[in-house]
Chains A and B, each alone.
Chain A
């Protein structure tokens, strides 16, 4: 029997799976941001400003180190989403995987910049802003799957070749994310801390 049948993945169109994946990622991230913003609301404004100032200084340090030859080791759960979800059915897998990646915390993070999202959603102390901010992350992460599905066809290359091309540009991504982290840390430090 084909592996897809064994894993209960056959018989469902890739469009349906991609839509469910993207929707789950968006909804989960919006919910996570709302919860963090709601929790942050309970902390006083002055305390949030103090913590944000401290985190801005840490972001500056990590961003600068990441641009150097020896980047600091990232604190993360270095793995993929559980393989057993594949056995739960195509659409269930798409929704679980989408939700997990839309939140991002329980699988490979890859970039220190990721920590800015939950920290900001919490420290803004506003459920709506938290939902907006985290939602942008989940929305981009979830819906960008369409780029992976459509771009290789458009460019006339295989999906595997496109995947390899992306992975080989990981170092560029790290440098861009580190620059953004540094800039964000300095901007926040000047805006609220200094």
Chain B
């Protein structure tokens, strides 16, 4: 795996774990989950602008 891939893997694992705990342990966890999904939706829409 390339060094950048390793860094992004660590970022994804760490960030995902932190977000998962935030969703699970906070009273408004569902709102955090919806926010995470909303960010994913916006991100993929932007990423698709780079498609040929």
Which residues does A use to contact B, with CB under 8 Å? 63-64, 67-69, 104, 108-111, 113-114, 116-117, 120, 124, 129, 132-134, 136-138, 140-141, 144, 147-148, 166-167, 169-170, 172-192
Contact = CB atoms under 8 A, between A and B. Distances in A.
Nearest to A175: B8
Nearest to A167: B52
Interface residues of B, number: 38
Contacts of A109: 48
B41 A137 contact: yes
7 contacts: A104-B48, A111-B44, A133-B37, A137-B41, A182-B9, A186-B20, A192-B24
A186 B16 contact: yes
A107 B8 CA distance: 28
Given A116-B41, A187-B19, A192-B24, 4 more contacts: A124-B34, A167-B51, A179-B8, A191-B20
Interface in B14-28: 15-17, 19-21, 23-24
A120 B12 CA distance: 19
A113 B44 contact: yes
Nearest to B2: A69
Contacts of A176: 43, 47
Nearest to B9: A67
Contact of A190 (B12, B23, B50): B23
Contacts of A140: 41-42, 45-46
